């Protein structure tokens, strides 16, 4: 049962990624081109992400709801920028029950329009505000060039939507949810992110301002890992979402929307993985610990499995999986779980039982260096410590990789070079013409204008005009 090795990450990052997703049984290609099937191991990872995010949303007063998959086509046409942005990607239902529909229905690409429509009925007075809701669902966008998790026709996500009485409240909420995403990325997924504002050309269709968290992948390309939009009163005006204020005057609401999708699974794979396979961040891993029993004879097998059964209850609150598969060598199992990214392995054999210990092996530290005996007494504490150490070490590794590959080019020629294998952090005049020229010359786009700015002013890296903010330029997924 010898497994073929994965393609080398350094030599062929793209193929390494594709094969890893399939081989780790995270997802598979669906019969419809561009769609994916998320397999149980991948879905378990997504469920842990959902739980971590859902907790954060609810802590800010958000409640979950469910809106329909099908949206009248006319709804999308009501917000001009919105329909222009989404028209090329729409899937449209024209026949239902064997009959041509009077009005075509859109399979939701996102739900601002239908939620706006319902809010216009539900929101009457300032007392009804704010409205804070979220839904977990899937959406469809007709993508031509797809890649598992990163870009698929149908993907899973959450879309949060809020409505407020004042413009400042919408801005505060958009930023608050961006912070929630950054906190999730860093403290659950060990993925360092830059929080920033999108340029006008990269803004969400219909938004006043868009924000994103951007992460550097293992090939130095950027990935937009979550977005949050201040929609101003654009959707309120398009859908007539109004309320009576304290003075009994009709006012338009101010709305936001924010989303994070299964794309984030792609980020986790590409930030942490290595030539052996996945390395899953301990707080999100479906299995935090895998126990591999080691035995040579049937008698040993019985003894070891009994010891394993005594061990599992010693690890409450830890997601433990016991690999009881027969007819496979321990070495095969080690490789298999390494490929599937389980953060911590416990090996238990007759010698360990005699010494009242187990062997712990860290996924993030290959070979002997990552292996240490640990006494069975106090194992739970030791395992928890190890999982926290792995989280911290994954985060630090990703952060130092990003630091090494983020440059502050002195001039335009240098920018052209550094974005071939990294990010450029440079002054930008914020004019679309410069952004477009840089993209033509280098294929790098503005990823974001970081919220964290050094202050002062500079000269635009391309045109030399005065610039008040720096931007991140990078090639991206
Ligand atoms: Zn410029």
196 CA to centre of ligand 1 in angstroms: 19
Q: Compute the distance between CA of residue 365 and CA of residue 449 in angstroms, rounded to an integer.
A: 35
214 CA to centre of ligand 1 in angstroms: 22
234 CA to centre of ligand 1 in angstroms: 29
What stretches in the chain show pLDDT beneath 70? 1-3
474 CA to centre of ligand 1 in angstroms: 16
Please report the DSSP string for 310-379 in residue order: HHGGGSTTS-EEE---SS--HHHHHHHHHHTT-SEEEEE-HHHHHTTEEEEEETTS-GGGGEEEEESTTH
SS (H, E, C) 119-182: HHHHCCEHHHCCEEEEEEEEEECCCCCCECCCECCEEEEEEEEEEECCHHHHHHHHHHHHHHHH
329 CA to centre of ligand 1 in angstroms: 61
To the nearest 10 degrees (0 to 180), the angle between helices 263-272 and 40-59 is 110
- As given in the structure block, the two tokens for residue 193 are 């992110």
The sign of the dihedral angle between the CA atoms of 473, 199, 180, 107 is negative
421 CA to centre of ligand 1 in angstroms: 22
Q: Are 61 and 132 in contact (CB under 8 A)?
A: yes
Cα-trace Rg, the chain: 25
456 CA to centre of ligand 1 in angstroms: 17
473 CA to centre of ligand 1 in angstroms: 13
258 CA to centre of ligand 1 in angstroms: 30
* Entry pTM: 0.96
- As given in the structure block, the two tokens for residue 197 are 């504002």
Tell me how many degrees the CA angle 308-313-316 measures, rounded to the nearest 5: 130
pLDDT at 5: 85
Q: Are 311 and 291 in contact (CB under 8 A)?
A: yes
Q: Compute the distance between CA of residue 289 and CA of residue 337 in angstroms, rounded to an integer.
A: 10
Q: What's the DSSP call for residue 369? A: G
Please report the DSSP string for 247-270 in residue order: TS-EEE-EEEEEEEETHHHHHHHH
Q: Are 438 and 462 in contact (CB under 8 A)?
A: yes
458 CA to centre of ligand 1 in angstroms: 11
181 CA to centre of ligand 1 in angstroms: 30
Q: What is the three-class DSSP state of 223?
A: strand
Helix (H) or strand (E) holding 239: helix 234-239
pLDDT at 144: 84
445 CA to centre of ligand 1 in angstroms: 13
Q: What is the three-class DSSP state of 95?
A: strand
446 CA to centre of ligand 1 in angstroms: 12
428 CA to centre of ligand 1 in angstroms: 6
457 CA to centre of ligand 1 in angstroms: 13
438 CA to centre of ligand 1 in angstroms: 10
58 CA to centre of ligand 1 in angstroms: 42
464 CA to centre of ligand 1 in angstroms: 6
231 CA to centre of ligand 1 in angstroms: 27
477 CA to centre of ligand 1 in angstroms: 24
466 CA to centre of ligand 1 in angstroms: 8
211 CA to centre of ligand 1 in angstroms: 21
Q: Are 436 and 235 in contact (CB under 8 A)?
A: no
430 CA to centre of ligand 1 in angstroms: 7
Q: Compute the distance between CA of residue 124 and CA of residue 135 in angstroms, rounded to an integer.
A: 22
44 CA to centre of ligand 1 in angstroms: 46
Q: Compute the distance between CA of residue 360 and CA of residue 269 in angstroms, rounded to an integer.
A: 23
Give φ, ψ of 400 to 5 degrees: -75, -30
Q: Find where tokens 């997703």 sit.
A: 21
427 CA to centre of ligand 1 in angstroms: 8
Q: What is the three-class DSSP state of 47?
A: helix
Q: Compute the distance between CA of residue 325 and CA of residue 329 in angstroms, rounded to an integer.
A: 9
- As given in the structure block, the two tokens for residue 164 are 């407020």
118 CA to centre of ligand 1 in angstroms: 43
415 CA to centre of ligand 1 in angstroms: 13
Q: Compute the distance between CA of residue 241 and CA of residue 363 in angstroms, rounded to an integer.
A: 52
Q: Compute the distance between CA of residue 77 and CA of residue 116 in angstroms, rounded to an integer.
A: 13
433 CA to centre of ligand 1 in angstroms: 7
459 CA to centre of ligand 1 in angstroms: 8
432 CA to centre of ligand 1 in angstroms: 8
* pLDDT 10s digits, 108-141: 999 999 999 999 999 999 999 999 999 999 999 9
Q: Compute the distance between CA of residue 27 and CA of residue 41 in angstroms, rounded to an integer.
A: 8
425 CA to centre of ligand 1 in angstroms: 14
């Amino acid at each position: 049962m010898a497994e073929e090795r994965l393609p080398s990450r350094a030599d062929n990052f793209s193929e390494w990624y594709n094969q890893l997703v399939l081989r780790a049984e995270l997802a598979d290609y669906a019969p419809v081109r561009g769609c994916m099937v998320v397999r149980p191991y991948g879905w378990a990872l997504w469920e842990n992400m959902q739980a971590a995010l859902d907790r954060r949303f609810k802590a800010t007063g958000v409640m979950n709801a469910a809106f329909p998959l099908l949206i009248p086509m006319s709804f999308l046409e009501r917000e001009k920028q919105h329909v222009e942005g989404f028209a090329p990607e729409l899937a449209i239902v024209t026949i239902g029950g064997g009959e041509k529909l009077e009005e075509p229905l859109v399979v939701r690409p996102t739900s601002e329009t239908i939620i706006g429509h319902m809010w216009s009925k539900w929101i009457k007075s300032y007392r009804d505000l704010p409205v804070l809701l979220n839904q977990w669902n899937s959406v469809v966008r007709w993508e031509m060039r797809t890649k598992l998790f990163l870009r698929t026709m149908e993907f899973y996500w959450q879309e949060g939507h809020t409505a407020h009485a004042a413009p400042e409240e919408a801005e505060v909420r958009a930023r608050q949810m961006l912070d929630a995403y950054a906190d999730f990325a860093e403290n659950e997924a060990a993925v360092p992110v830059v929080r920033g504002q999108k340029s006008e050309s990269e803004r969400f269709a219909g938004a006043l301002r868009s924000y994103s968290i951007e992460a550097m992948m293992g090939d130095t390309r950027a990935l937009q890992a979550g977005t949050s939009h201040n929609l101003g009163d654009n959707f309120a005006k398009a859908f007539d979402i109004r309320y009576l204020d304290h003075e009994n005057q009709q006012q338009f609401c101010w709305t936001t929307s924010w989303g994070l999708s299964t794309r984030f699974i792609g980020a986790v794979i590409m930030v942490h993985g290595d030539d052996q396979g996945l390395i899953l961040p301990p707080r999100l891993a479906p299995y935090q610990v895998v126990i591999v029993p080691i035995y040579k004879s049937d008698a040993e097998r019985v003894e070891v499995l009994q010891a394993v059964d005594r061990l599992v209850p010693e690890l409450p609150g830890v997601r433990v999986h016991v690999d009881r598969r027969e007819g496979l060598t321990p070495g095969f199992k080690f490789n298999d779980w390494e490929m599937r990214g389980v953060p911590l392995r416990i090996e238990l054999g007759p010698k360990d039982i005699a010494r009242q210990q187990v062997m712990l092996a860290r996924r993030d530290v290959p070979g002997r260096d990552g292996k240490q005996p640990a006494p069975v007494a106090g194992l739970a504490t030791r395992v928890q410590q190890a999982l926290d150490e792995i989280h911290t070490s994954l985060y630090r590794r990703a952060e130092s990789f990003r630091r090494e590959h983020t440059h502050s080019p002195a001039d335009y020629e240098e920018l052209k070079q550094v974005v071939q294998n990294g990010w450029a952090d440079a002054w930008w005049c914020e004019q679309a013409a410069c952004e477009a020229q840089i993209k033509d010359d280098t294929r790098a786009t503005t990823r974001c204008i970081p919220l964290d700015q050094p202050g002062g002013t500079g000269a635009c890296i391309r045109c030399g005009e005065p610039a008040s903010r720096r931007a991140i330029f990078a090639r991206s997924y």
